[in-house]
Amino acid sequence: MDGDEITIDPWGSAQSTDYDRIIEQFGLTSLDGWPLENPTKLHRRGIVFAHRDLDVVQEAQRTGDGFGVLTGLMPSGQMHMGHSMVVEQVKWFQQQGADVSIAVADLESQATRGIGLEEGRRTALSEYIAHYAAMGLDPEQTQVYFQSTRHAVQRLGFHLGKRTNLSEFEAIYGFNGETNLAHVQAPMVQVGDILHPQMEEFGGLRPVVVPVGVDQDPHLRLTRGLATKTNWFNIKPAPSVGLMISTSVHDENAHVFGRQPNGRLDKNKVAEVFQKIVEAVANLGFSDIISNPKQGHVHVPSATTRDRHGLRMSLLRLERNLGGLGLMAPSSTYHHFAVGLTGSKMSSSQPKTTLFLRDDVATVEKKIKRAFSGSQATVEEHRRLGGNPDIDVAYQYMMYFFEDDDAYLAELNAKYRSGHLLAGEMKQECIERAVAWMSHLGEMRDQTAHLVNDFLAEDSR
């Protein structure tokens, strides 16, 4: 129905898979046709389907400026195939030069799932980080930390709480008067997770990208809004030509602008700040700079959208020099959810719906044999009408997880659709690949077990 709004509940069990509408409603940018270097199978197959500000990351990569990737994990239960998708993407970003931060969301799982901090720590290490290591993350370039022990994360989250309110939480998450406050606090801690790598002691100003499933987008919207609200300088297209920098005076920088109790600003102090903006812009090579402190903006007529990133970075640096946080909104990418083995949602609390990374060969075989298939009711009909790989779980799992070779996958797809390949045969293909994949993972898990502690950040050992 038109006008029907999708709401995304990060803690809920229902997930919308209407990805086109999600893109439209939440203002994501489609990755369809977007240029990516050395894309993973998840990117090549449109499974990672949308982003926010990925171009900012790509620009940092192109110019050799650093960038970070951050993800978080709930240390509860066993890790399953669905979880592996983020690891694959984190590893890919790492290979492109990203430094990696991994938040163990122990505060969140304590508050929302009743998992004690000690238990959370054990599970994080033995189940999650063990698999991150096995899947090939580089411990040298990875910092795993715990929400509960990284005070900067909590402080930043608490501090930024000042820039939002319950109405915004209602709008973003659908909260109401009955909402448990753990669900108010957890997103604020996650805001701290996502933004803190930009602080000087955690790597400093740089783009940070967060690869997630769409269920986490509410947190990203919140975080992006909060980062932007703290900024002292904003860049917009100028009404005529070029770009316009405007200043935003708020509680935290009022003293820098000499704001008096009556709201007036101190002309001399404003002039000083504007002089610094002009210098920052001039340092980027612009000579035509029209500074208008009275109106509160600086116009750079020859600047184009391509200059925006460089301008923004130097203004954030200026903001930091003047005592501000200088935070940039995080970038993000979004992936589709793999279907559960039963054809419904994949869920760790329902073992039949997914493959756990520690399932043994017999279990893997059994689960795939019982998986939902996209075949016709009888073999004869299947031969005549063909099957539907779009809903065939065995095919889907090869596409999402187990088969790297695009050409081979396309062949399976065509043969299934035309009825040449039967559901049982597709399952057999999937079982072979899955068993090989899992056995390899198991071997790697043994080989990398001694590295698990090396993934821990210094404040987390």
Footprint of ligand TRP (CB under 6 A): 70-72, 74, 103, 105, 108, 190, 193-194, 210, 212, 216
Task: Quote the DSSP letter at residue 176.
Answer: -
Q: Among all residues, whose Cβ is closest to ligand TRP? A: 72
What's the closest the beta carbon of residue 420 comes to ligand TRP, in angstroms?
40
What's the closest the beta carbon of residue 214 comes to ligand TRP, in angstroms?
12
* Greatest Cα pair distance in the chain: 86
> Residue 185 or 216: which CB sits closer to ligand TRP?
216
> Residue 60 or 70: which CB sits closer to ligand TRP?
70
What is the amino acid identity at position 366?
Answer: K
Angle at 210 between CA 63 and CA 215, to 5 degrees: 150
Task: Quote the DSSP letter at residue 418.
Answer: T
> Residue 120 or 374: which CB sits closer to ligand TRP?
120
Give SS3 for 68.
Answer: strand
Give the DSSP per-residue string, 357-405.
TT--HHHHHHHHHTS-----SSHHHHHHH---TTT-HHHHHIIIII---
Distance between CA atoms of residues 456 and 461, nearest Å: 6
Give SS3 for 168.
Answer: helix
What's the closest the beta carbon of residue 79 comes to ligand TRP, in angstroms?
12
What's the closest the beta carbon of residue 250 comes to ligand TRP, in angstroms?
26
What's the closest the beta carbon of residue 184 comes to ligand TRP, in angstroms?
14
What's the closest the beta carbon of residue 17 comes to ligand TRP, in angstroms?
18
> Residue 114 or 261: which CB sits closer to ligand TRP?
114
> Residue 210 or 256: which CB sits closer to ligand TRP?
210
> Residue 223 or 375: which CB sits closer to ligand TRP?
223
What's the closest the beta carbon of residue 413 comes to ligand TRP, in angstroms?
31
Lookup: tokens for 456: 């821990």
Give the DSSP per-residue string, 214-281.
GGGHHHHHHHHHHHHHH-SEEEEE-SSSSEEEEE---TTTTTTTT--TTS---HHHHHHHHHHHHHHH
> Residue 193 or 392: which CB sits closer to ligand TRP?
193
Q: Which of 59, 12, 37 is nearest to 214 (CA)?
A: 12
Lookup: tokens for 252: 């935290």
Distance between CA atoms of residues 163 and 236, nearest Å: 22
What's the closest the beta carbon of residue 274 comes to ligand TRP, in angstroms?
37
CA distances from 291 to 149, 238, 304, 317 (A): 45, 13, 17, 19
What's the closest the beta carbon of residue 189 comes to ligand TRP, in angstroms?
7
> Residue 120 or 387: which CB sits closer to ligand TRP?
120
> Residue 8 or 103: which CB sits closer to ligand TRP?
103
List Cβ neighbours of 109 (8 Å cut-off, separation of 6 or more). 74, 75, 76, 115, 120
> Residue 190 or 396: which CB sits closer to ligand TRP?
190
What's the closest the beta carbon of residue 71 comes to ligand TRP, in angstroms?
5
Q: Which phi-psi region, left, alpha or beta, contains residue 97 (left: φ > 0; alpha: ψ -120 to 50)?
A: left
